[in-house]
Structure 1
């Protein structure tokens, strides 16, 4: 049963992580303008939120669904607004850096903890994550006891973390490949536009 819970957790974690939405796009953009540690911190923030929601689903999924339903739309709207604000700030910082001749995103170089907390907060604002895990838990019954529940949650976290770290690594490689001022500006503006489009899609 524990092995079944691990497999279920891995599938659940990858299932929620692999579809790259606005948060994933923002993660790649931040990693492209920052050292690996900052991108990794952001990636672990997303994975931690997924792990917490998996835990909540295992502990009280049935009770959480009616509680979250009335606030699902406001939370989605709040998440979209935060992402749009972050994209706008990123674009403005990139333009200022280009005009001044400095590297965009330099302020993020020493902030892996801040990146972790920021991405944890953004991901926690999405109630669909806990509803997703709840549907899996109630439908598939991967956790029938404490050991199975623990295995499911840890496996879901590990799956999400591995994918988010892959996204962060991709962003870091992109940042190293695009070293010119114009290339960095174009990349920052393109990622900001993509984040805004994906954030709007969350509430439309």
Structure 2
């Protein structure tokens, strides 16, 4: 049981800690909205990680093999979604900056917590590499015996908890960033920098690994 717990925690942090395009978007989303919205978005990412961990525990090697042929189209879909987010964020920031709109004028509507949760859940699910990652860990840890269902559950819950704790930490950092950059120009620079980073990571996603 302890081994399954530690394996799940390590697996969850292993997939969550490297801050890629989704993590960058999570931080900037929280910075321009609220900690509540960012926390819901963070839980969306963690839910996707938990679902993939569950699928890997139940039948990782078979599912990973089925998804491998779809890696290319899904990678393109994920990159296009991230690129759209980057362009949309930059355009909205430029419009708001050039118009010098006061707070009473209509600003780009912030997503609701539920919408942020579903958006980040969907974006993260577009990356089947997460399933292959968990599947490799699960298959590699199954020597010649089957893992009991209780240990599988512990592994999945630990992976979810690890991912959730890290994503919530990123959301907290985004909330602090939002409080620090209250100036008109500061928010523009942050939005454009975020869009550039997300675009670069989306392009990098299209490059096959290795």
What's the TM-score once normalised by structure 1's chain length?
0.95
Q: Is 1:196 paired with 2:195?
A: no
- Note if contact 1:26-1:191 (Cα within 8 Å) is conserved in structure 2: yes
Give the equivalent residue in structure 2 for 1:64.
Answer: 63
Pairing partner for 2:149 from 125, 134, 146: 146
C-alpha RMSD over aligned residues: 1.6
Answer with 1 or 2: which has the greater Rg: 2
Q: What stretches of structure 1 of length at least 5 have no aligned partner?
A: none
Distance of 2:172 and 2:154 partners within structure 1: 27
Q: Quote the Cα distance in structure 1 between the aligned partners of 2:108 and 2:47.
A: 25
| Structure 1 counterpart SS, 2:109 | helix
**Aligned partners of 2:107 and 2:158: how far apart in 1?**
33
- Aligned twin of 1:48: 47
1:100: how far off? 2.8
**Could you tell me which residue of structure 2 aligns to residue 125 of structure 1?**
126
d(CA) in 1 for partners of 2:7, 2:176: 31
Q: Within 2, Cα distance between the matches of 1:141 and 1:166?
A: 32
Structure 1 residue 66: deviation in Å? 1.8
The question of 1:7 aligning with 2:10 is answered: no
Q: Which residue of 1 aligns with 2:114?
A: 113
Question: How do 1:148-167 and structure 2 match up within 5 A?
Answer: 148-167=151-170
Q: Is the 8 A contact 1:22 1:194 kept in 2?
A: yes
Aligned length: 202
Q: CA deviation at 1:99?
A: 2.3
Q: In 2, are the aligned partners of 1:51 and 1:153 still within 8 Å (CA)?
A: yes
More helix per residue: 1 or 2? 1
Residues 10 and 105 (structure 1), Cα distance of their counterparts in 2 relative to 1, 3 Å cut: farther
Residue deviations 1:25-82 (CA, integer Å, cap 9, x gap): 1111111101111100110000000000000000011211221010011101100100
- Per the TM alignment, residue 97 of structure 1 is displaced from its structure 2 partner at its CA by 1.5
1:96 aligned to 2:95? Answer: yes
Q: Distance in 2 between matches of 1:3 and 1:141?
A: 15
Cα distance in 2 for partners of 1:99, 1:107 equals: 18
Q: In the alignment, is the contact (CA less than 8 A) between 1:33 and 1:105 conserved in 2?
A: no
**Partners in 2 of 1:48 and 1:76 — Cα distance?**
20
- Give the 4+ runs in structure 1 shifted more than 6 A: none
Give the TM-score, by structure 2 length. Answer: 0.92
For the residues of structure 1 that align with 2:154 and 2:107, how far apart are their CA atoms? 38
Residues 61, 136 of structure 2: 8 Å contact kept: no
